[in-house]
Amino acid sequence: MKTPIHACLGTLILAAAAAASAPGEGIQKLPFGSVGGRNVDLYVLTGPGGFVAKVATYGATLTELDVPDRAGTPDDVVLGFDSLGGYLGKEPYFGATVGRVGNRIANARFTLGGRTYRLAANDGPNHLHGGIRGFDKVVWDARVVGNAGAPAVEFTYLSRDGEEGYPGNCRVSVTYELRGTALCLRYTVTTDTDTPVNVTNHSYFNLAGPENGSILAHELTLYADRYTPVGAGLIPTGEIRGVAGTPMDFLTPTAIGARISEVGSGPSGYDHNYVVNSPSAALPPPMDTGGAGPLLHVATVRDPTFGRVMDVWSTEPGVQFYTGNFLDGSITGKKGVTYRQYGAFALETQHFPDSVNHASFPSYVLKAGGTYRSVTLYSFTAR
């Protein structure tokens, strides 16, 4: 805990740094510490009505997202830490860009082009979110690509051949852009060798603000009438099953906690991939996806207490719905909040988990010389 004198000095130092290095109106660049001899920067993107996103070059990580409620009062709705140190310790990917392949690959291996590749095993025998040192644990380069009307920063990283066991050199970019009170994430990857690619963001949301209790009363609509059941280690079985008549059904607005005790084991809760294929009545936002394909309406989440509503749109075929089952009170984050089970949810837009080992799933293998493109939009309102 800083003393008042230290806090004032820190504020003056950050203000001076911002004044010296602010890239443009609506965008600030602040120091956020260093790791491995590299400085880490924090970019602050400011939108209307107190809508603010903060993104660190370490892990291209969304560290803060301030969203107004129905009274117009902003609050930070994502889990994370006040300083870089929290992200350097053992933590569950708060706000990070994960890859080269997000989610799980069974037994940390796959076969491609007649060759078997063995990956880093960091989730029991399985590979999770890119491995031991995935995209979430490296410092990305960054440059401002937007302006005051649409503040945006592009983060780039070169994932070299053999990193965490993956073949090929991959050039990766993710752009965070504010569009009014929406946060748009654009991903682009190129490679010189055939390789699996499934990059996503791993933010944990609590639309009431994490200091205000669990997300069990949040009302969720998932525009997906099927999901991929899992077996041991949360690895998909390969089946695609309908949600009708099961606790997996969120086709109409339903409290997240309504049937959560009926799902999963050790602990109970949702940690499942849904197949996004059920159209909603809403029209997609008018925006260019840069060749990534059409935007699909993935989900709507509403916090009844403060009225914040988040709509998720994506060009991806699936979404992993996770309810913070493994948050166990051992992590203290921003505002001194202890992060407990069901304290947040994640909606990770993605290809299906372990697709590289399931020929019946949509393929995420990027061919040499090809380009992977993906867009996700988190749009916020209040009512």
Q: Which of 8, 376, 75, 72 is nearest to 64 (CA)?
A: 75
Distances (CA, A) of 116 to 108, 133, 351: 11, 21, 21
Per-residue pLDDT tens for 162-203?
999 999 999 999 999 999 999 999 999 999 999 999 999 999
> pTM of this prediction?
0.92
Q: Taking a C-beta distance cutoff of 8 angstroms, is the pair 156, 171 a contact?
A: yes
Q: What is the pLDDT of residues 200-246, one digit of tens each?
A: 999 999 999 999 999 999 999 999 999 999 999 999 999 999 999 99
Position 3 scores a pLDDT of 37
Within a domain: residue 15? Answer: no
The predicted structure's pLDDT at residue 18: 38
For residue 12, being part of any structural domain is answered with no
Q: What is the pLDDT of residue 183?
A: 98
Give the C-alpha separation, 101 to 366, whole Å.
11
Q: How far is CA 271 from CA 51, 57, 345, in A?
A: 29, 28, 10
- The tokens describing 76, both together, are 């930070």
As annotated, the active-site residues are: 202, 348
Predicted local distance difference test score (pLDDT) of residue 373? 98
Q: Over the stretch 329-341, which tens digit does the pLDDT of each residue have?
A: 999 999 999 999 9
What local confidence, expressed as pLDDT, does residue 122 receive?
96
List the beta bridge partners of residue 200: 98
* Residue 52: inside a domain: yes
Residue 25: per-residue pLDDT: 63
> Which pLDDT score is estimated for 264?
85
Residue 33: CATH number of its domain: 2.70.98.10
Does the residue 239 lie in any domain? yes
Q: What is the pLDDT of residues 46-74, one digit of tens each?
A: 999 999 999 999 999 999 999 999 999 99
How confident is the model at residue 289, as a pLDDT? Answer: 96
The answer to whether position 75 is within a domain reads yes
Going by C-alpha positions, the residue among 364, 367, 357 that lies closest to residue 193 is 367
For range 236-264, the mean pLDDT: 97
Please report which confidence band the pLDDT of residue 266 belongs to, taking 50, 70 and 90 as the band edges: confident
At which residue do the structure tokens 């009307």 appear?
Answer: 149
Structural domains of the chain, count: 1
Give 23's pLDDT tier (boundaries 50, 70, 90).
low
Tell whether 2 is covered by a domain: no
What is the pLDDT, as a whole number, of residue 148?
72
Give the per-residue pLDDT at 147: 77
Give the domain extent around 193. Answer: 23-382
In a domain, 228, yes or no: yes
Task: Kindly state the percentage of the chain with pLDDT values over 90.
Answer: 91
Residue-wise pLDDT tens digits, 123-173? 999 999 999 999 999 999 999 998 778 999 999 999 999 999 999 999 999
pLDDT of 9 reads: 31
Q: Is residue 11 part of a domain?
A: no
Structure confidence by residue, pLDDT tens digits, 101-122: 999 999 999 999 999 999 999 9
Q: Is the dihedral of CA 79, 80, 81, 82 positive or negative?
A: negative
The string of pLDDT tens digits covering residues 303-349 is: 999 999 999 999 999 999 999 999 999 999 999 999 999 999 999 99
**Side-chain half-sphere exposure of 342, counting CA atoms within 13 A:** 16
Look up tokens 């902003």; give the residue: 74
Per-residue pLDDT at 13 exceeds 70: no
The whole-chain average pLDDT of the chain stands at 93
pLDDT of residue 267: 86
Task: Give the per-residue pLDDT at 157.
Answer: 98
Residue 237's φ and ψ, nearest 5 degrees, are: -80, -15
Query: Whole-angstrom Cα distance, residue 140 to residue 156?
Result: 6
- Indicate whether 5 pLDDT > 80: no
